[in-house]
Amino acid sequence: MLAVLDNQSSQDSCIHIDHPECNDLPDELQFSVLGYREMNVVLDPNEKAVWCQFNPQSVPSFTRPLLHDMLRFKNSVATLFARAPASEPPLKFVVGYSGIPGIYNLGGDLAYFANAIRAKDRAALTAYAQECCEMVYNVYNAFDLPIIVIGLIQGDALGGGFESALSCNVLVAERRSRFGLPEILFNLFPGMGAYSLLSRRIGAVKAEEMILSGKIYSAEELHALGLIDVLAEDGHGEQAVRDWIAQNRKRHRVLKAVHDVRRRVGGLTLQELFDVTGRWVDEAMALDDTSLRRMERLRAAQAKRHS
């Protein structure tokens, strides 16, 4: 049975995981002391899997509170491993999915972008962009732990939402899911990992085609390209993840080794992501008023859809 570990709404009353009062807590309670604001965390001890449900309070995008929750989650998992004997890892799988029906994630916080650009606040935009890069890099490297990160997509994954999905070690998507990089609509490009991740999987030419076209792709199309590992029927995504875990639990070690080799050969570094996002900031800060209005109209459409 799944146990909900955390759905607190405030950090004020939480006890951090390294607090002495947490030392004797069982594994399934270690996460609940963190008081996530925009995530629910669920542990299935039978699967040795943690399910992270994203529940942003506004438009389902990568807000700074959600990014901070993800960083704190990474640190709590690392602490859990540090306390466990090497012969008995506490976790093998982390599953990320959305609590918003029909939407995985719509990408970067467009309101934050527009406000920072209009205020000419380059430092704020750079800080946000680098936090996104760190999130992508942490997931891509499975938090530098002996786990496999599974992304479950049950709706639209656009812009940064698509980038974050691509960073997962294994991607499971329901047929209704849609993927795309719409940044070209306001004269920008996706700057938090899309080119780095796509070019390593499908080549630079196809990656640039996806980035510059703004096309929305179906789950079937991306499965045919090899970007989606498991194509699930609508409404059966969670069961497809559980089936995949059951089928691969005994060969977890070799799968993890193959993923590590893939990353080593791919050679992606955090500095590469920072360099690319630095150019993204350059282009964002140079957007004219027409492009900014397009960005703000897209943000308004996202808010209307969410409400």
Q: What tokens were used for 20?
A: 């002495």
The whole-number pLDDT of residue 31 equals 55
The whole-number pLDDT of residue 45 equals 85
Q: What is the DSSP string of 72-96?
A: HHHHHHHHHHHHS-TTS-S-SEEEE
Prediction pTM value: 0.88
Beta sheet of 3-6, edge-to-edge order: 3-6, 39-44, 49-54, 93-98, 148-153, 170-174, 230-232
The whole-number pLDDT of residue 83 equals 87
Task: Say which residue the tokens 């070799």 belong to.
Answer: 254
The C-alpha atoms of residue 94 and residue 173 are separated, in whole angstroms, by 16
The whole-number pLDDT of residue 150 equals 98
The whole-number pLDDT of residue 34 equals 58
- Positive or negative, the Cα torsion across 279, 61, 225, 137? positive
**Tens digits of residue pLDDT in 255-287:** 999 999 999 999 999 999 999 999 999 999 999
3-state secondary structure of 275: helix
Q: Are 170 and 194 in contact (CB under 8 A)?
A: no
The whole-number pLDDT of residue 3 equals 37
Task: State mean pLDDT over 74-102.
Answer: 91
**Closest alpha carbon to 196 in 283, 139, 268:** 268
Catalytic residue among 38, 134, 174, 183: 183
Q: Are 243 and 209 in contact (CB under 8 A)?
A: no
**Closest alpha carbon to 177 in 139, 220, 229:** 220
The C-alpha atoms of residue 133 and residue 139 are separated, in whole angstroms, by 10
The C-alpha atoms of residue 17 and residue 32 are separated, in whole angstroms, by 9
> Percentage of the chain with pLDDT > 90?
78
The whole-number pLDDT of residue 20 equals 35
Q: What is the mean pLDDT of the chain?
A: 89
Catalytic residue among 131, 134, 163, 174: 163
**Tens digits of residue pLDDT in 48-73:** 999 999 998 888 999 999 999 999 99
Contacts with 64 (C-beta within 8 Å, 6 or more apart), sequence order: 109, 112, 128, 131
Residue 88 bridge partners (DSSP)? none
The whole-number pLDDT of residue 7 equals 37
Task: State mean pLDDT over 209-233.
Answer: 97
The C-alpha atoms of residue 153 and residue 173 are separated, in whole angstroms, by 5
The whole-number pLDDT of residue 134 equals 96
**Tens digits of residue pLDDT in 109-140:** 999 999 999 999 999 999 999 999 999 999 99
pLDDT grade for 306, boundaries at 50, 70 and 90:
confident
Does residue 6 surpass a pLDDT of 90?
A: no
183 is catalytic: yes
The whole-number pLDDT of residue 5 equals 39
Beta-carbon count within 10 A of 258 CB: 12
Domains and CATH numbers, the chain: 3-238+252-306 (3.90.226.10)
Q: What tokens were used for 39?
A: 């995530």
pLDDT grade for 196, boundaries at 50, 70 and 90:
very high
The C-alpha atoms of residue 167 and residue 292 are separated, in whole angstroms, by 28
